[in-house]
Structure 1
Amino acid sequence: MARDPETIQREIEQARDALAVTLDRLGEKASPKRLVDNAKASARSTLDDPKVRYALIGVGVVVGLLVVRGLFR
C-alpha cells in the first residue's frame, strides 16, 4: 500500500527533530566544560569527607617527616 507523500514528509521531519534533540543532549553530556565541572565537584565532595581528608593529612605528615629525616642524615 502506497503512503501519502505528505505523511512521509511529516514522518521525516519528526524523525529529524527527534535526532536533533538527541544530538543536542549528547553534545551537552560530552561537553568538555561539563565533564571538568563534574570532575571538580566529585573531587571536592570526596575531599570533604573527613575520613579522606584526615587520611591525606596523615600521609602528608608522614611524607614530610621522612623528607625532613632524610635531609638531616
Structure 2
Amino acid sequence: MARDPDTIQRDIEQARDALASTLDQLSTKANPKKLVDDATTNVKSKFADPRVKAALIGVGVLVAFVVVRRIFR
C-alpha cells in the first residue's frame, strides 16, 4: 500500500527534528569546557573526603621519610 506524500513528508520532518535534538544533546555533553569542569569538580570532591586526605598525608610523610633517610645515609 502506497503512503501519502504528506505523511512521508511529516515522517521526514519528525526524523529530522529528532536527529537535530540528539545532535544538540551530544554537542552539549561533549563540550570540552563542560568535560573539564565536570572532571575538576569530581577530583575536588574526591580530595575533600577525609579518608583520601589522610591517605595522601600518609603517603607524603612516607615519601618525605624515605627522601630524608636517603639523604642522610
TM-score by length of 2: 0.89
CA RMSD of superposed structures (Å): 1.1
Deviates more, 1:24-33 or 1:42-51: 24-33
Counterpart in the other structure of 1:30: 30
Measure, in 2, the Cα distance between the counterparts of 1:54 and 1:22.
Answer: 44
Deviates more, 1:27-36 or 1:45-54: 27-36
Where in structure 2 are there 5+ consecutive unaligned residues?
Answer: none
Where in structure 1 are there 5+ consecutive unaligned residues?
Answer: none
Q: What number of residue pairs does the alignment pair up?
A: 73
Q: Is structure 2 residue 69 aligned with structure 1 residue 69?
A: yes
TM-score by length of 1: 0.89
Measure, in 2, the Cα distance between the counterparts of 1:71 and 1:30.
Answer: 48
Task: Give identity over the alignment, percent.
Answer: 64
Counterpart in the other structure of 1:60: 60
